[in-house]
Amino acid sequence: MNLKRNGALLGALAVGAMTLAACGSDDNSASGGADTSDSTATCEGKERLSGAGSSAQKNAMDQFVATYISVCQQQGTNVNVAYNPTGSGDGRTQFVAGQVDFAGSDSAITGEQAEEAKTRCVGGEAWNLPLVFGPVSIAYNLDGVDDLVLDAPTIAKIFNGGINRWNDPAIAALNEGTDLPDSAITPIFRSDSSGTTDNVQQYLGVAAPQDWTTGAGSDFTGGVGEGARGSAGVAQAVAGSAGTVTYVEKSFADQQGLNSARIDTGSGPVELTEETAAKVIDGAEFVGEGVGDLTLDLTSIFGTTEEDAYPLVLATYEIVCSAGYDADTSAAVKSFLTSAANEGQQGLTEQGYVPLPESFKEKLTASVEAIS
């Protein structure tokens, strides 16, 4: 993994990851047993932890908690982690106020809020630890076309009205030999405030800056198409109407049987798979160096041109104090996050997330261990 310092931090993941302040609120949970026999979680410290924030990571968090409880029960300890998916912004606010032990956030805590967190983290500061990753599909419903290639410029133009027909020359050039219909494109966007929207718009701003000039943010700025609420809502809208296209977490696209476009990053079309998403995570860079805060340089993800690396992957952070917890809380936070970063990753694929690559896991675990 490239850990070089990169001073450019793209704005916050306000999904923004697998979105979001609102996208993950749809029930898309799945469960699977994890092998906890080799867990390094100590199950020490206070028995009840609290967290709040990103709804995008709720299903992953449910799995982390269930796995952690199982690990500790095997050690003869009863524990629990109460996580409330109130949205990233609220989670950060509660964390700064000392109302929860950690926050889940689709964006790193930065600026004034990070400064305020230093008061809460007496003797320390807030660290952003990316723990949950999820790919986003450009999902479509087009009769007779089950393999479609798009690139960032064409995606940008589809969602801002610059391209409005499926046989547009720009799309045709990426899909030689495919019989594209001369029919209208209907973009479906999130009508609710969404981190998925923010991250997709950030991606377009990085990968197609000349074509996406309306900026990012939790609200859709493209100005065309039809809105639907929630991840389930946009996926259902596309499934029910030919000629439509949307952006949505892969698990929701899969549930509706939707096709996902391959994205050409300049090194050839890349299919959305666990392996291609993991590859871009493995190549991610950080704003800082060394052990500690792991705020991602999002340009290294969204702007990738690496072969077979899928660029539309969103990250969700756990925000913790580097120091300043009481001893029992510190021990419990470290134990829980250690479990989540290791055996907790098992089975995440079935829920539409991407398990952490080994090199990334090692970096994350080292930062967890450094919490004091």
pLDDT digits (tens, 9 = 90+) for 140-174: 999 999 999 999 999 999 999 999 999 999 999 99
The binding site consists of 54-56, 88, 106, 194-196
User: Which residue do the tokens 């994205």 mark?
Assistant: 263
Q: What is the per-residue pLDDT for 72? A: 96
Average pLDDT score over residue span 201-221: 95
pLDDT digits (tens, 9 = 90+) for 331-372: 999 999 999 999 999 989 888 899 998 888 999 999 999 999
In the chain, domain spans: 23-135+275-369, 136-273
pLDDT digits (tens, 9 = 90+) for 90-114: 899 999 999 999 999 888 899 999 9
Q: What is the per-residue pLDDT for 37? A: 67
Query: Taking the model in full, what pTM does it have?
Result: 0.77
Instruction: Please name the CATH architecture into which domain 23-135+275-369 falls.
Output: 3-Layer(aba) Sandwich (3.40)
Better-scored residue on pLDDT, 108 or 328: 328
Domains 23-135+275-369 and 136-273 share a fold: yes
Average pLDDT score over residue span 182-195: 91
Distance in angstroms (rounded) separating the CA atoms of residues 102 and 337: 10
Better-scored residue on pLDDT, 229 or 150: 150
Instruction: Please name the CATH architecture into which domain 136-273 falls.
Output: 3-Layer(aba) Sandwich (3.40)
User: Which residue do the tokens 């060394």 mark?
Assistant: 290
Instruction: Please name the helix (run of DSSP H) or strand (run of DSSP E) that holds residue 150, with its range, or none.
Output: strand 149-151
What mean pLDDT is reported for the chain? 89
The binding site for phosphate consists of 54-56, 88, 106, 194-196
Split at pLDDT 50, 70, 90, the class of 18 is very low
Q: Give the count of beta carbons closer than 10 Å to the beta carbon of residue 319.
A: 28
Q: Give the count of beta carbons closer than 10 Å to the beta carbon of residue 97.
A: 12
